[in-house]
Structure formats: structure tokens, C-alpha cells
Structure 1
Amino acid sequence: MTSPATTLASSTKLSYSDDGAALTFTAGGQQIASYTYNPTDAQYESPRPYFHPLTTLGGDEVTIFRPWDHVWHKGLSLALPNVGNDNFWCGATYTRATEYADLNNNGAMAHKAFSSISDGVAGITAAEELQWSSQDGDPVIAEKRRFNIQLLDVPGARAWALLFETEISNISPAPISIGSPTTEGRENAGYGGLFWRGPRSFTGGQFRSAAGTGTDEFMGSRSEWLAFTGRHDQSCHASTITFVEDSANLGAPNQWFARSSMFACLGSSPFFSEAVLLQAGDPLTYRYAVVISDGEVDQESAELLVGAAKAALGAWV
């Protein structure tokens, strides 16, 4: 354990660089995150900014990019499949009328500008403006996005947090119903939100929440936080990724889209089983903390990480 005078956050320097397509973040000279804000993906994959790779402070990578089974899974990203008539997730869209079908409705989330990037005591914060447009180029949503990279001082842990905030505003001519395949009739397929896909080796890993541990039974569950622990090939290390939802989010605690046996994934899903109407002049805001830590967690260490993440969210204004 580090002493108060030499805590992780005070002894390790965070920095970033920008190459015109991605922001890269380092801790003590080691890359821990990359945020691609100008992607080159095909329209069919609903181009959008994404975080990949994300890496523990120990150097283990906890994201996968464009896996062959779901090429639209790109590290950690905000993605929504049923936004009115548009799809900001990937190729085929699920509706009651068509089930899964290619509807030529794959929109894109386009980066417009970083309004600010600041480096302070509580890490590095980027504020970004984006426009979501339909496949035909019609404006649908204006988004104000912020994210923060900071180190966490938690006894016995090596961890950092990615704080994420999105405010989405309707700029289309009509109200927009935001839902999921489940709101369209497909059971237990309520994906859509801030979504993470883990490495292949994480398949079969373990979820943990305040209610205990398990695997696929966490699909559709509600809790203020949910952690996933997996193991890496080659190093055989364990890593844990923990999602913490801001209690001020609409509908909180919202449902989680959580899988272990098919592949490792976890996502906040505020539109899992009930559609939400986005009206002009009435934006929706959602905030999360995603904690990336070396090693496994037990209930006590998980709750310490969650407590630190909540404190970071509360202080991030």
C-alpha cells in the first residue's frame, strides 16, 4: 500500500496527445487509453467514436476491436440500435415488423469539435460536440459529451477511472422514441448505451454486484454497479472492469446488458425494456464511471472501488 505522501494519483503523471484522429492517454509514460474520435468505419457499422485499447495500469488490454462475430463491437463506445427510425449501433435493425433486417438506416455519430481539453488535479477532461445524422445525412441528435481520465487512490488496488457523460438533444423534426430490440419484442436483447466488449480470453468470466456473483443471470438485472473479472492469455493475469451508474440518471438503477458465456460484454442499458421519448428542447443526460483495475476483486475491494468511483463522479462537475 502506498503512503499518503506517495499515492498513486500524486506519484504518476497523466498526459495526452492528439494526432488529429485520436486522443491517446498515458500514465507514467505507459498508454492506458485511446479515444478515436474520427473513425473510418463503413456506414453499415454505424461509425462512431470509441475507446480502444483500454489497458490496466499493469499493461493488460481489456478491450477488443471489431471481433469477427460482431464487427460493430469496438472497445467501449456509446451506441444505440433503435433511435426512432435510425440505427446508431450497427447493420441490421430489429423491429416488430421486420425482426432483424437491413433497413438502410445506419446513422453516424460525427465529431464536430473539442470545446475544451483540460489537465488538472482530478485528471484530464475532454468536452466534445457531436452530431448524429441519418444514413441520408439528415441531422437527428446533437450531443454534448464529456469524459475524464483519472487515477484512483484505493488501498490495495491499482486502478483508474473513465468518467463519461452524454447529453443528447433532439434536432430532428419530430419526437424520437429510443428503445432496443427488447422494446420491439425480442426477449432479453435490450442492448444500447455505453457498451464494453472484452477480450476473447474473458469469456466465462465472473460478474459481481452488491447482490453477489454469477455469470449470465445478470442479464437485465438492476443495480447501481456491476463488475466483471476476466483473465488474459499469455500473462494469465486477472483484470476487472466495473461500471458505476450515476444515481441521478433517468430510471436509475437501469438494467444491464451483461454476457459471460457467449463472450464478455457489459453495457448500461437505460432503454432495455422501456422506450424513452426524446422531445425537442428536453435533452437526456446520462453519467457513468468505468473503473479499470488490475487483478480480481472480492466484495470488499469491489465496494472500495465503487466508492472511489462515486466520489469521483460526485466531484466531477
Structure 2
Amino acid sequence: MRQVTAMPTLNCAGRPVARYDLRPDVGPGHAPRPSLHPVSTLGGTPVTESAPADHLHHLGVSVAVPDVAGYNFWGGRTYVRGRGPTALDNHGEQRHLAFKLCDPDGFVEDLEWTAGGGLLLRERRTVAASPLGPDAWALDLTFSLTNPGTQELSIGSPATNGRPGAAYGGFFWRAPKERRAPAVFTAAHQGEAAVHGRTADWLALAGGGWTLVFAGATAETRRDPWFVRAAEYPGVGSSLACDARLPIAAGATVVRRVVTVVADGRLDRARAAALVRRAVTA
């Protein structure tokens, strides 16, 4: 294992495309966690935003969960059934432990999720960057969550706690907010209302001069519906707990893999589908 003394920078096709921040300075009440920011296209266009004024707890590309056994690893207020969004002293922290591998184009990291003075989850995170051509590259992110305890715990979301349509929690990408809302589409549907809360092999978010194409790369990930925002703010994530809480038995592990195409320009459906196929099978 190579010791790392600075924040790792991901390189692709000889260019820096992402920086990994082990502990973003988000202030109290925002569930500190490692995140990728800034992330950019090969042409240098930024495609992430971190701690924006509208949602200070949105941190570039991260793994964020609003309810792990009642603790908030998302940040901000917690949705409480019958009360709505509520400020609670229940925020957890994702702590970097070590890099098992750290190369210019990727890394393997061990983390622990702690809250309430105890350890709730152990995580193994794998991140890699690979080229897809002169104007596109792929970010491959896998996270494995293991319950180290002796009792089952479960992951929830505002949706499972009584807020319809708010099943966020898992992989989450906050894109830059621009003057116009980004276009969002899948192979079969167009528009935020049509794609939010649905499963799809891939989902594209296209802004001013950039396109992100997200794909679940495991059977379990493909079964997770997409959480999508475009009009209010640009963000895409997975839904670990959509209609019901996700249980993790003692000693068990939950694995999810999301591959994201990061492209210059605005892709159409055919180009988005072709690039994401290459990215997932690379």
C-alpha cells in the first residue's frame, strides 16, 4: 500500500479529472464524508458542485444515506414521520481509514461509518477513471457496506419514513446549477417527472456543454430506482430504500456499483447508450 499524504487526484488520458477530498469542510450538522470534487470533463468543464447555497450538505460525488438505523449520513434535517424535516442531533460521519491501493487512475479505500459513539458500518470503496475517447471518460464507483455488529440494522430514506417521492440515499452526484435546468432522459423516457423514481439501465443529465450518463452496473444496482432532480437543482442518485427499508443482517454486506460517463457536449440517446455500454463493459 502506498502511503498518501495529500488528497488523491484522479487522472485520465493524461489529464486531472477529479480530486478526492477526504474530509470536506462542511461545518456542523452536515454529516462529513469523503467526496469527489471538483470533477471535470476531459475538456475541463466542471460537472460537480460542493456545498452549494441551496443544499450545503450536497458534496460533489459521494455516498450519502439519510437514515442508517436512525442516524443521518446525508446531512441537513432529518425527515420524521408526522413532523416533517426536523433538525436533530443525529448526524453520522464517514471516516477514512486507509487506502489499500492508490494509483493515478483510481484507488481502493477503507472507511468506517460512526454515529452515536459507535461503529455502524464498514465500507470498502473502489473508484477508477478510464478513457472512452477524446471527449469522454468513465468514473466507476463501487461501495460495499458491511454490518460489523451482532444485530441486523436497516437503511431507510425520507420516503420510507413518510415523505413520498423522496427515496434518496446511496450514490449521489450533485451537478452544477446553471441558468437553465438540465435535460434528463433515459432510453425510454424524457423529463424529470417521467424518469424520477423509475428503474432504468442508464439515465442521462445534460447541461450546458456537458452530459453525465449514469448506469447501474450490478443486478442489485439496476433494481434501485433513480432519484432525479433537475428543476430545483441538478442531482442524480440511487435509491437504496425506495418502498421499504433495506435490511443488512449482522455480518452481511450490501454492494452497489455505479458507472458514470462524463462527456463534453450534449449527447443524444444513441451516443449516450453507446458510451455507457463501453463504460460498463470496459
TM-score (norm 2): 0.93
Post-superposition offset of 1:108: 0.2
Give unmatched runs, 5+ long, in structure 2: none
How many residues are paired up?
281
Match of 1:249 in 2: 220
Contact 1:202–1:263, Cα closer than 8 Å, also in 2:
no
Partners in 1 of 2:261 and 2:75 — Cα distance?
26
TM-aligned CA distance change 1:22 to 1:109, over 3 Å: same
Q: Tell me which of the two structures has the higher relative contact order, counting C-alpha pairs closer than 8 angstroms and 6 or more residues apart.
A: 2
Partners in 1 of 2:155 and 2:6 — Cα distance?
29
Q: Quote the sequence identity (%).
A: 34
Counting only pairs closer than 5 Å after superposition, residues 89-168 of structure 1 correspond to structure 2 as 89-118=74-103, 124-134=105-115, 136-153=116-133, 158-168=135-145
Q: Does 1:295 align with 2:265?
A: yes
Match of 1:195 in 2: 172
TM-aligned CA distance change 1:244 to 1:165, over 3 Å: same
Partners in 1 of 2:67 and 2:181 — Cα distance?
29
Counting only pairs closer than 5 Å after superposition, residues 1-317 of structure 1 correspond to structure 2 as 20-27=5-12, 30-118=15-103, 124-134=105-115, 136-153=116-133, 158-201=135-178, 203-231=180-208, 238-249=209-220, 252-312=222-282
Contact 2:225–2:238, Cα closer than 8 Å, also in 1:
yes
TM-aligned CA distance change 1:18 to 1:73, over 3 Å: farther
**1:179-203 Cα deviation digits (max 9, x unpaired):** 1100111011111111111111174
SS at match of 1:212: coil
Post-superposition offset of 1:30: 3.6
Contact 1:181–1:189, Cα closer than 8 Å, also in 2:
yes
Post-superposition offset of 1:172: 3.6
Instruction: Give the structure with higher Rg (CA).
Output: 1
Post-superposition offset of 1:95: 2.3
Q: Which amino acid aligns with 2:216?
A: E
Contact 1:75–1:198, Cα closer than 8 Å, also in 2:
yes
**1:183-239 Cα deviation digits (max 9, x unpaired):** 1110111111111111111742111211032233321111011011001xxxxxx10
Contact 2:12–2:130, Cα closer than 8 Å, also in 1:
no
Post-superposition offset of 1:170: 1.0
Q: Which amino acid aligns with 2:107?
A: A
Give unmatched runs, 5+ long, in structure 1: 1-16, 232-237, 313-317
Q: Over the residues paired in the alignment, what is the CA RMSD in angstroms?
A: 1.9
Post-superposition offset of 1:98: 3.5
TM-aligned CA distance change 1:28 to 1:256, over 3 Å: closer
Contact 2:165–2:197, Cα closer than 8 Å, also in 1:
yes
Partners in 1 of 2:148 and 2:29 — Cα distance?
23
Partners in 1 of 2:244 and 2:281 — Cα distance?
29
SS at match of 2:220: coil
Post-superposition offset of 1:97: 4.7
Contact 1:216–1:259, Cα closer than 8 Å, also in 2:
no
Q: Which amino acid aligns with 1:49?
A: P
